Amino acid sequence: MPADSRIAYFINLYPAISHAFIRREIHALERQGFDVQRIALRGWEGDLTDAADPAERAKTLFVLKGGPLPLIGAVLRTLLASPGRFLAAVALALRMGWKATRPIPYHLMYLVEACRVLGWLREHGATHVHAHFGTNSAEIVMLVRTLGGPPYSFTVHGPLEFDKPYYLGLGEKIHRSAFTVAITSYTRSQLYRACSYADWPKVRMVRCGLQPEIFATPPEPPPATPRMVCIGRLVEQKGQALLVKAAARLARKGVEFKLVLVGGGPLHDTLAALITEYGLQEQVELTGALSTERLYEELRLARGMVLPSFAEGLPMVIMEAMALRRPVISTYIAGIPELVRPGENGWLIPAGSIDDLTTAMEEMLAFPVEQLRAMGEAAHKLARERHHSDTETAHLGELFRRSAAGEPITDA
């Protein structure tokens, strides 16, 4: 295997149902001939929903597994092998912690974790390491690089990175990276805001990809039954509370419907109380978190998906719904308008507007099946063009190989 094919991925939590897209990206890279080492901070315990995740867990190295002794040993080995680089990494960790929302001890712990990651990367012969999210995972691979490890990159999804780029040291992470990946044009614009103009060419757009199998799924026409589904973690920013209120308006108007809320999260009890308050127990169902297979089944049973988010990057569930030929109702925020096109493959509404949300839901419920089918076909076509994992990871793989070859990625 060529040396430049040995790469590593570093993630805070892996495997996990919310990170299935990372697993798909890794598998697509392996189909292209990469030898991908998986490293995560945590994730060696707990239930796994997806059938593919136990095999991923078995392939993953966990930084925090084994307690403090392996970490202490890694720090001592790194310090003795290269005291100058170690002190430079200490200085960088202190600088990152000085302006961060998390205090300095956290950033020194990131350095400790980086020492253990460094040893595994060297054993693997990794020529490049890639992290997902611009938070502590990106800081750890940046510290690995300062300690003498391979070049790094990281993918920014948002919206967390958009909310506090200064406190995350996002500009520093971009500056020191071989390149930084934005998943949408909107994400790229926010990274431009966070870094200097000189570093703009390092910011590359690579969209999140879906597995080829989803595009090969035989088309199923949307059902005649008035059923809609919302998929997402039950948190304020996803807008499910607004969705329940819109459902109450539909019920008061005598509109027949079924709304399924898929996902778990801290807002579960609040939503359950709202459903009871509005007397919607027959119309609105909370399923909890589901496996990918069950999630896809819920999409097939629905006329379309509703996701009235207030803050996002670009939700994977929108891509999945569109790939399965279901139109989407969502909001004019972040990268969503780059995929959802009003009147063509879905509806876009102003975030926070219960009036517009209610109207869009009523329209989806009233549309003839044939019209929904045409919208679903348009949705599938655009999702396939933009979010096929093999196509998108081919772009990513080329960037990895350029980095491994020592080629500066600074062309426009």
Tens-place pLDDT, residues 90-122:
999 999 999 898 999 999 999 999 999 999 999
The CATH number of 3-209+389-404 is: 3.40.50.2000
At 271-293, the pLDDT tens digits run: 999 999 999 999 999 999 998 89
Q: Which residues pair with 349 in a beta bridge?
A: 331
Residue 385 reports pLDDT greater than 70 = yes
Which sequence spans correspond to the domains of the chain?
Answer: 3-209+389-404, 213-386
- Asked if domains 3-209+389-404 and 213-386 share a fold, the reply is yes
- What is the pLDDT at residue 412? 56
Confidence of residue 177 (pLDDT cuts 50, 70, 90): very high
Fold classified for 213-386: Rossmann fold (3.40.50)
pTM of the model: 0.94
Half-sphere exposure (Cβ direction) of 79: Cα atoms closer than 13 Å: 10
Average pLDDT for 193-197 = 97
- What is the pLDDT at residue 2? 64
- What is the pLDDT at residue 249? 98
User: How many Å apart are CA 48 and CA 65, to the nearest integer?
Assistant: 18
Residue 52 reports pLDDT greater than 70 = yes
Average pLDDT for 196-222 = 95
- What is the pLDDT at residue 379? 98
Q: What long-range pairs does 44-47 form, CB within 8 A, spacing at least 24?
A: none
- What is the pLDDT at residue 195? 97
At 370-383, the pLDDT tens digits run: 999 999 999 999 99
Three-class HEC string of the chain: CCHHHEEEEEEEECCCHHHHHHHHHHHHHHHCCCEEEEEEEECCCCCCCCCCHHHHHHHEEECCCCCHHHHHHHHHHHHHHCHHHHHHHHHHHHHHHHCCCCCHHHHHHHHHHHHHHHHHHHHHCCCEEEEECCCHHHHHHHHHHHCCCCCEEEEECCCHHHHCCCCCCHHHHHHHCCEEEECCHHHHHHHHHHCCHHHHHHEEECCCCECHHHHCCCCCCCCCCCEEEEECCCCHHHCHHHHHHHHHHHHHCCCCCEEEEEECCCCHHHHHHHHHHCCCCCCEEEEECCCHHHHHHHHHHCCEEECCCCCCCCCHHHHHHHHCCCCEEEECCCCHHHCCCECCCEEEECCCCHHHHHHHHHHHHHCCHHHHHHHHHHHHHHHHHHCEHHHHHHHHHHHHHHHHCCCCCCCC
Q: Write out the two tokens for 83.
A: 């005291």
